Amino acid sequence: MDAREKILEAAAELLATAPAAEVSTRAVCEAAGVGAPMLYRLFGDKAGLLAAVVDRGFEQYLASKRAARPGEDPVADLKSGWDNHMRFALEHPHHYRLMYSPELTVPPAAVSEAHALLHAILERCAAAGRLTVPPVLATQIIMSANVGAALSMLTRPEQYPDPGFSARSRDAVIDSLTRPAGPAQGDGVPVAAATLAARLRAEPHASFTPAESGLLQQWLETLAGN
């Protein structure tokens, strides 16, 4: 195990039992058996180290999301993704709180990738005519709600004793942004435009030049209310 892995392993073990504010770089160096200059050379500062620890800790979770095969129902995949996110948060509370901590001046790459994976599912929802708002907006709403629910349960568990809280929050949020499968009834131009835009992003039309495709996307996004 090289010095980088020793430091990350030591930091992860310390963070598994204590919040980030209580874990010093000195303690990490002592646990890893390396000098402070080595830590700062590899990670820059404590914030850089913590960001690297978060990315390392979330890698297994993100790997499972990357490998997940899309189901027939993208909305069901969306709800499953919420549940997996919540499960990881509750099983790794210190890592999770750290991921969204204002202490991190270096944003973990895991945050951006989790956001992108969620957006990909919502693009599928839009292409299937199941989304009632643009995918970008839906991604922001669902991610903020999922993270907010997880952090609330982690930081104030006594205020959220209902074991069904997460599922109810999930359904309230996702059901407000999606529609049942089947022919659209009363959804009008915005949903039709968002659906067509998503389908064209997934399968660009060969008859259009890149400039024409870009212009069409702008028109459709305007009609969709994006």
The confidence score (pLDDT) of residue 183 equals 60
54-182 CATH fold: Tetracycline Repressor; domain 2 (1.10.357)
Break the chain into its structural domains and give their ranges. 1-44, 54-182
Confidence of residue 184 (pLDDT cuts 50, 70, 90): low
The confidence score (pLDDT) of residue 209 equals 81
* Pairwise CA distance, residues 225 & 2, whole Å: 52
Name the class of domain 1-44. Answer: mainly alpha
DSSP sequence for 128-195: TT-BSS-HHHHHHHHHHHHHHHHHHHHH-GGG---TTHHHHHHHHHHHHHB--SSS--S-HHHHHHHH
Percent of the chain with pLDDT over 90: 47
pLDDT at 16 over 60: yes
**Chain segment 190-226, per-residue pLDDT in tens:** 777 777 777 778 777 777 788 777 777 777 777 777 6
Percent of the chain with pLDDT over 70: 95
pLDDT at 123 over 70: yes
The confidence score (pLDDT) of residue 176 equals 95
**Chain segment 59-83, per-residue pLDDT in tens:** 877 887 787 788 999 999 999 999 9
Q: Does this chain's domain 1-44 share its CATH topology with 54-182?
A: no
